Amino acid sequence: MSGLPTDYFDASFPGATQVVHVTSLHEAKVFARRWVIRDKDPALKALLRDMERANSSATADIAIRKLKQAVASRGLLVTAMPQQQAEFVARES
């Protein structure tokens, strides 16, 4: 269940200095737990419960997509490539 999901993403809380790269169900759960603790939003708690119940790769992918959608709707989705990653990609091409 810790394989790569079909759509991974980067997220960050407002004012945070680091970006979280979510590539697995485990990383998604950790991000969601911290987000629930920070914001205490009942909708996020329900999303986290769904993620905890994910027991197959299909349900894990759905849970991660729901989390990505929630992150995007609240403006926490990082769409710009960080400088270090951009330099690495430029060197590799």
Q: Kindly state whether residue 83 falls inside one of the protein's structural domains.
A: yes
User: Which long-range contacts (C-beta less than 8 Å, at least 24 apart) are formed by 38-42?
Assistant: 38/13
Predicted confidence (pLDDT) per residue in 20-74, tens digit: 888 888 999 999 999 999 999 899 999 999 999 988 888 888 988 999 999 999 9
| Structure tokens belonging to residue 71 | 């992150």
**Which residue range forms the structural domain that includes residue 80?**
9-92
Looking at per-residue confidence, does 7 or 32 come out higher? 32
Q: Kindly state whether residue 73 falls inside one of the protein's structural domains.
A: yes
Q: Kindly state whether residue 22 falls inside one of the protein's structural domains.
A: yes
In this prediction the pTM is 0.73
Q: Kindly state whether residue 4 falls inside one of the protein's structural domains.
A: no
CA distance 49 to 53: 6
How many domains would you assign to the chain?
1
Write down the pLDDT at residue 14: 79
